[in-house]
């Protein structure tokens, strides 16, 4: 009887060993474990037969049964580990990823051309020792006009078609009010620029918009003259349009500067042939020479060889008096349109392109 049970156990181990080694996956190994060691498993059935044995025989067979059970469990564990490893290597083989392949490109934003030019202008003047100061976009009539020598009913007000928010409040038409705000609070020497949005009641066309951007700058100290103005603006023009640029000052009129000038640079498209005064051009001068279109047909300057870039002048004594700057001080001031500079710099002929948010246009910068 004992031998029969022991034989049964031995053959059970043999059978289990062979079946375990043949399992192809974890699921079939689990089924097999259930078949052998489960509640109704083969080994359990053999152990049930132990009750038929005598008291003396039982311990011997029980020990044997436990050994077989442990041996089967060991085989199962080893097989499970090996199946897991091969499943992993199979996955690694099948699901490999080439990390060197370029990924899906993510479209990135970039700075608006006007922001780029505004930052460049700020950086140039910062290099010349000018400090940047912000001013409000909603201004009082006093700061926008009266303190700048433009009293009510003065005909100069026609130069600015203003957007009023109330009787004495308006959207600032220029950045010049910042001059007054700074000079009211601080004593010379002053070297300040300001910049931002300005608003005028202009109909929108290729060169006008009701909203635009200006940078205003001024310097106040003892002995400041037109020479300082020209030197500063020449340095600016060379920094932004190239070191070979020449600057020309042409008399003009602004209520808050005296004398006032418009500042021109020689045309960078046909400017290498420019002279102080435009000469009547000979028939040959309209020909194409070394890649540059000569003045007669220049698209940038329209043949005038000069491009207006900004307005400037010596700060009017009235303005300095309004803010109680002592008479031994003088100063210059200038204002430039960021759109104007950007249009020249990037050869853009329609101001509306800046505000239309057209991806095709903006992606070029």
Nearer to Zn ion, 63 or 347 (CB): 347
Helices 2-22 and 26-37 cross at an angle (nearest 10°) of 170
What is the Cα Rg of the chain in Å?
A: 45
Report, in Å, the least distance between residue 130 CB and Zn ion.
Answer: 30
Report, in Å, the least distance between residue 254 CB and Zn ion.
Answer: 26
> What would the two tokens of residue 269 be?
């498209």
- Alpha helical stretches, state H, the chain: 2-22, 26-37, 42-48, 57-94, 113-127, 141-144, 177-185, 226-241, 317-322, 338-346, 359-362
d(C-alpha 189, C-alpha 128), whole Å = 14
Residue entry with tokens 């992606």 = 363
Nearer to Zn ion, 141 or 262 (CB): 262
Secondary structure class of 288 (helix, strand, coil)? strand
Q: Segment contacting Zn ion (CB under 5 A): 116-124, 290-298, 322-330, 348-356?
A: 290-298
Nearer to Zn ion, 229 or 298 (CB): 298
Report, in Å, the least distance between residue 303 CB and Zn ion.
Answer: 7
How far is Cα of residue 306 from the mean position of the Cα atoms in its chain?
A: 34
Nearer to Zn ion, 118 or 301 (CB): 301
Report, in Å, the least distance between residue 340 CB and Zn ion.
Answer: 16
Nearer to Zn ion, 23 or 274 (CB): 274
d(C-alpha 244, C-alpha 272), whole Å = 9
> What would the two tokens of residue 309 be?
């870039």
Binds Zn ion (CB under 5 A): choice among 301, 310, 336, 351: 301
Q: Segment contacting Zn ion (CB under 5 A): 18-26, 182-190, 295-303, 351-359?
A: 295-303
> What would the two tokens of residue 336 be?
């430039």
Q: Segment contacting Zn ion (CB under 5 A): 29-37, 71-79, 138-146, 296-304?
A: 296-304
d(C-alpha 253, C-alpha 99), whole Å = 66
Nearer to Zn ion, 263 or 267 (CB): 267
Secondary structure class of 207 (helix, strand, coil)? coil
Q: Which of residues 263-282 bind Zn ion (CB under 5 A)?
A: 267, 269-270
Of 284, 280, 309, 285, nearest to 298 by C-alpha is 285
Report, in Å, the least distance between residue 194 CB and Zn ion.
Answer: 31
Report, in Å, the least distance between residue 297 CB and Zn ion.
Answer: 9
Helices 57-94 and 26-37 cross at an angle (nearest 10°) of 170
Report, in Å, the least distance between residue 246 CB and Zn ion.
Answer: 13
Report, in Å, the least distance between residue 290 CB and Zn ion.
Answer: 15
- Return the number of other C-beta atoms located less than 10 Å from residue 36's C-beta: 23
CA atoms within 13 A on the CB side of 99: 0
Binds Zn ion (CB under 5 A): choice among 193, 240, 247, 298: 298
Report, in Å, the least distance between residue 268 CB and Zn ion.
Answer: 8
- For Zn ion (CB under 5 A), the number of binding residues is 6
Nearer to Zn ion, 73 or 281 (CB): 281
Report, in Å, the least distance between residue 294 CB and Zn ion.
Answer: 9
Pairing of strands 247-254, 131-132: unpaired
Q: Segment contacting Zn ion (CB under 5 A): 173-181, 254-262, 282-290, 298-306?
A: 298-306
Q: Which of residues 239-268 bind Zn ion (CB under 5 A)?
A: 267
Instruction: Verify binding: residue 343, Zn ion, rule CB under 5 A.
Output: no
Torsion of CA 220, 223, 225, 230, to 10 degrees: -80
Binds Zn ion (CB under 5 A): choice among 124, 192, 300, 338: 300
d(C-alpha 278, C-alpha 267), whole Å = 12
Nearer to Zn ion, 28 or 281 (CB): 281
Which residues of the chain form contacts with Zn ion (CB under 5 A)?
267, 269-270, 298, 300-301
């Amino acid at each position: 009887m004992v031998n029969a049970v022991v034989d049964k156990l031995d053959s059970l181990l043999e059978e289990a060993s062979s079946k375990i080694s043949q399992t192809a996956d974890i699921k079939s190994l689990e089924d097999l474990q259930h078949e052998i060691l489960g509640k109704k498993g083969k080994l359990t059935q053999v152990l049930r037969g132990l009750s038929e044995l005598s008291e003396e025989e039982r311990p011997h067979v029980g020990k044997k049964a436990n050994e077989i059970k442990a041996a089967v469990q060991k085989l199962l564990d080893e097989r499970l580990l090996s199946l897991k490893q091969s499943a992993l290597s199979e996955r690694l083989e099948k699901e490999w990823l080439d990390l060197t392949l370029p990924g899906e490109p993510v479209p990135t934003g970039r700075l608006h051309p006007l922001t780029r030019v505004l930052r460049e202008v700020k950086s140039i003047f910062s290099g010349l020792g000018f400090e940047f100061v912000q001013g409000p976009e909603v201004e009082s009539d006093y700061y926008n006009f009266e303190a700048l020598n433009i009293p009510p009913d003065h005909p100069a007000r026609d130069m600015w078609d203003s957007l009023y928010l109330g009787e004495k409040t308006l959207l600032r038409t220029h950045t010049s009010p910042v001059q007054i705000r700074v000079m009211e609070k601080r004593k010379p020497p002053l070297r300040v620029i300001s910049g931002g949005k300005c608003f005028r009641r202009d109909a929108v066309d290729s060169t006008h918009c009701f909203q635009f951007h200006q940078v205003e700058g001024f310097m106040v100290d003892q002995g400041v003259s037109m020479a300082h103005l020209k030197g500063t603006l020449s340095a600016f023009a060379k920094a932004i349009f190239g070191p070979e640029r020449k600057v020309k000052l042409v008399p003009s009129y602004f209520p808050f500067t005296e004398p006032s000038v418009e500042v021109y640079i020689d045309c960078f498209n046909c400017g290498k042939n420019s002279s102080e005064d435009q000469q009547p051009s000979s028939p040959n001068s309209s020909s194409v020479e070394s890649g540059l279109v000569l003045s007669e047909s220049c698209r940038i300057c329209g043949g005038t060889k000069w491009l207006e870039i900004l307005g400037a002048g010596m700060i009017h004594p009235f303005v300095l008096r309004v803010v109680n700057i002592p008479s031994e001080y003088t100063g210059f001031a200038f204002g430039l349109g960021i759109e104007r500079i950007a249009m020249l710099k990037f050869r853009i002929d329609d101001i509306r392109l800046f505000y239309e948010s057209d991806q095709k246009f903006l992606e070029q910068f």
